[in-house]
Amino acid sequence: MIKISNLSKSYGKEKIVENLNLEINKGTIFGFLGPNGAGKTTTIKMLVGLSKPTDGEIKIKGKDIEKSREIIGFMPEDPYFYDHLTAIEFLEYMKSLFTKQSESLDKILGLVGLGKAKNQPIEYFSKGMKQRLGLAQAIINDPEYLFLDEPLDGLDPIGRREFKEILLNLKKLGKTVFFNSHILSDVEEICDQIGIINKGKLIYCGPVKKFRGNKSLEDAFVDKIGVQNE
């Protein structure tokens, strides 16, 4: 389980995340939603240990971040690659950074749909292929918990469908997936639960159907955020 208790982050007098409380069950896909500047990326950075909270506590499988790094994987919004390397060379380098042995690299590349491109230099990869490679590096250590920052951003409809199928397959393998996205139709399709943050504060956490009622998730989200920001 991921347990976030009274989590806050401030830069000077500006509060980015304020008193956030969340519990995410193991083996689920959780969508973290909010308008631009709501605090989503800041929260993810705290969850993976890239930023320290001003206040509050994060527990992943009952452990502090410093003691849970081997069981988490992270894909940033804009993954950086060494473009002169091939996909397999890049993953070999990433694998060397972990003490835990992962699945074979060929299996990982096959899982994300890059098996046929493993010997191709990354500089020739499309946006969708780079997103897949970003996910591959996030699962290189066979993590139990995955944190993905806008993983569907910039993908065409076919790429988004394939990426969603990959996330659902990871769930079947027992992974817990925490991701944020502005593409609410995709969130509605694959997420077990959602959390919505606005101006740094959590305004909803629970099942998608309970939040949207008889509306689409997008319409319910726009209505809720519109009222909040009036």
Q: Give pLDDT, residue 12.
A: 87
The CATH fold of domain 2-228: Rossmann fold (3.40.50)
- Over residues 209-218, the pLDDT tens digits come to 999 889 999 9
The whole-model pTM stands at: 0.90
Single-letter code of the amino acid located at 178: F
pLDDT-derived band at 17, boundaries 50, 70, 90: very high
> What crossing angle do the helices spanning 127-138 and 157-172 adopt, rounded to 10°?
10
Q: What is the layout of strands, in order, in the sheet containing 201-207?
A: 72-75, 145-149, 176-180, 29-33, 193-198, 201-207
Sign of CA dihedral 60, 108, 104, 81: negative
User: Do the bridges between strand 14-24 and strand 29-33 make them parallel or antiparallel, or are there none, so unpaired?
Assistant: unpaired
Domain ranges of the chain: 2-228
Q: Tens digit of pLDDT for each residue in 180-204?
A: 988 898 899 999 999 999 999 999 9
- pLDDT tens digit sequence for 126-178: 888 898 899 999 999 889 999 999 888 878 888 888 889 989 999 999 999 99
pLDDT at 181: 87
